[in-house]
Chain A
Amino acid sequence: MLSVESLSAGYGPVRALDEVSFEAADGEITAVLGANGAGKTTLLRTISGLVRATAGRVFLAGKDITGRSTEDLPGLGLAHVPEGRGVLAELTVEENLRLGALGGGRRATAEELSRVYGHFPVLEERRDGLAHVLSGGERQMLVIGRALLSRPKVLLLDEPSLGLAPKIVTRIFELLRTLVSSDGLTVVLVEQNARSALSIADRGVVLNLGRVVVRDDADALAGDDALRHAYLGF
């Protein structure tokens, strides 16, 4: 569903991404892992056009989206939940959600909103309140719900577990797994917390210094002790 071919990007003389290639298949969770500064966030930002690619291509459902404006991508089926979550704190919870739907090209229907509230009941309680009162875990739920409302084919998630208690991380990751199974969503999950990520992922890509070190099934990566110690920190 998402195909990245020899993607390179840099900030000035620094090569943040160096010919990165991988595929995220339909209905699978692909984890992108690596140490701090390995280029994981840059990868997502380049895919969604916030950073200009200096070389390479990105294909979404077979369509070349390299170089397209960021704001066109939700309409094409790409949803990106950025580093730091990207909650629009001065808008209400429901307004955040509605924006997600608008990005996908249509207003949110009542049923669609209900479905999201069904996944995250705590959001329904606070639907008319400003988003900035939400806790970290609630914010993460909000931005995932918001992304889902744009009816994406591919969901990019940047470090969703950051700053969250382990119990909440587990809940969110389980939810992701469910959504992927039920909706056929393709997820690209960037994570520092490699252990948790690999526990729900199907495939894994490990980056180091902007380059792909290894691509393999998640189980294989989790089982490779040497690799884990070298690049994943556990």
Chain B
Amino acid sequence: MQQLLTTVLTGLTLGMVYAAFALALVLIWRATRIVNFAQAPMAMITTYLALVLIDAGYSYWLGFAVALLSGLVLGAVVERFVVRHVEGKSEVNAVILTLGLFIVLHALAALIFGSRFRSFPAPFGLRGFQVGDTTIALTGFGVFTIVAVAVVLVGLVLLFRGTDLGLRMRASAVNQEVSRLLGVKVGRMLTLGWALAALVGSLSGLLIAGGGLVHPSYMDGVVVYGFVAAVLGGLDSPVGAVVGGVLLGLSLSLVSGYVGSELVPLAALVILMAVLLLKPGGLFAHVRERSV
């Protein structure tokens, strides 16, 4: 019973982080029909920027803010100057482009920050809370993780549903040409979309790193899990990304606890194939009409 509770709590916390990453992927997919595989090394680099500051003596929160801000900037720059050229064209080219970026960012990080494993702090502590005699597997950092992702989600919902800017961004994602005819500066909306997605990605990078080790490949698994979570929920659905992330986190935690952590990526692959072959649109598949 204790182990089950531990597994569930771990899975929930981890699931929220996968949800954040999946959300970043979904935001970009909706806007530009591209899966940004480079989101993982992008998040890794912004986390390294935070680490540099933290190791130099500055507070965690400054590093946190810098990571999020640099994510914003990095996402905007990548969209405007790199990805813009392949938007709307061959899918194959877009995938290869993000993979090229993946390799470049990996190598840059190793070059600039080094390949050794470095520890990253976790605010609010890594000790489980005491409930009576037992320590449950929920830590202060775990609660922070859940709250942080929830705050970001609420913020995004408010932006997209409650503001004119959000409305314009959603319009750009639905149909670029019609949006232009309605006076929406689609190019800027796409850049902003990538910037926000990268911000969310940076958050997930920070949360994964907390209490663990940072090295250039540390986010590589997350891109797979984020992708699986996004597909599970439906690549078009932000809500799906969150639900998918939590479900995946729970499932993988169960596999890790009861089978073995080495087989977690394989479990993710199996879940992915199951979804793609049985319900390819994901759990939240809805009719996708692009304007008539």
Seen from chain A, the residues whose Cβ lies within 8 Å of a Cβ on chain B are 48, 50, 69-75, 80, 82, 84-91, 95, 98-100, 102-105, 107, 132, 139, 146, 150
Q: Is B184 within 8 A of A90, CB to CB?
A: no
With A and B bound together, what is the CA distance between A146 and B179 in angstroms?
12
Question: What chain A residues lie within 8 Å of B174 (beta carbons)?
Answer: 88-91
Q: Is B287 within 8 A of A146, CB to CB?
A: no
Residue of A48, A71, A90, A103 ringed by the most chain B CB atoms within 10 A: A90
A89 and B292 in contact (CB under 8 A), knowing A98-B167, A99-B167? yes
Q: Is B183 within 8 A of A104, CB to CB?
A: yes
Q: Is A102 within 8 A of B167, CB to CB?
A: yes
| Other-chain contact of B178, A75, A88, A98, A132 (Cβ < 8 Å) | A88
B16 to chain A, nearest CB (A): 26
Question: What chain A residues lie within 8 Å of B90 (beta carbons)?
Answer: none
Q: Is A88 within 8 A of B186, CB to CB?
A: no
A-B contact pairs, 15 of them (CB 8 A): A50-B180, A70-B181, A72-B183, A73-B181, A73-B183, A74-B181, A74-B183, A88-B171, A91-B174, A95-B167, A103-B182, A104-B183, A107-B164, A139-B292, A150-B183
Question: What chain B residues lie within 8 Å of A146 (beta carbons)?
Answer: 182
Question: What chain B residues lie within 8 Å of A103 (beta carbons)?
Answer: 181-184
B188 and chain A: residue at smallest CB distance: A71
Q: Is A87 within 8 A of B182, CB to CB?
A: no
| Other-chain contact of B183, A86, A91, A102 (Cβ < 8 Å) | A102
| Other-chain contact of A87, B167, B185, B186, B291 (Cβ < 8 Å) | B291
User: Interface size on B (CB < 8 Å)?
Assistant: 23
Seen from chain B, the residues whose Cβ lies within 8 Å of a Cβ on chain A are 164, 167-168, 170-171, 174-175, 177-186, 287-292
Q: Is A102 within 8 A of B168, CB to CB?
A: yes
Question: What chain A residues lie within 8 Å of B186 (beta carbons)?
Answer: 71
A86 and chain B: residue at smallest CB distance: B178
Q: Is B177 within 8 A of A74, CB to CB?
A: no
18 further contact pairs, Cβ within 8 A, besides A86-B181, A132-B287, A150-B182: A69-B180, A70-B181, A72-B183, A82-B181, A84-B291, A86-B177, A86-B291, A89-B292, A90-B288, A91-B171, A95-B167, A95-B170, A98-B164, A100-B182, A103-B181, A103-B182, A105-B183, A146-B182
With A and B bound together, what is the CA distance between A84 and B287 in angstroms?
18
Question: What chain B residues lie within 8 Å of A139 (beta carbons)?
Answer: 292
Question: What chain B residues lie within 8 Å of A73 (beta carbons)?
Answer: 181, 183
Question: What chain A residues lie within 8 Å of B291 (beta carbons)?
Answer: 84-89
B290 and chain A: residue at smallest CB distance: A89
Question: What chain A residues lie within 8 Å of B183 (beta carbons)?
Answer: 71-75, 102-105, 150
Question: What chain B residues lie within 8 Å of A82 (beta carbons)?
Answer: 177-178, 181
Q: Is A80 within 8 A of B181, CB to CB?
A: yes
Question: What chain A residues lie within 8 Å of B289 (beta carbons)?
Answer: 89-90, 132
A75 and chain B: residue at smallest CB distance: B183
Question: What chain B residues lie within 8 Å of A88 (beta carbons)?
Answer: 171, 174-175, 178-179, 291
Q: Is A99 within 8 A of B168, CB to CB?
A: yes
Q: Is B292 within 8 A of A71, CB to CB?
A: no
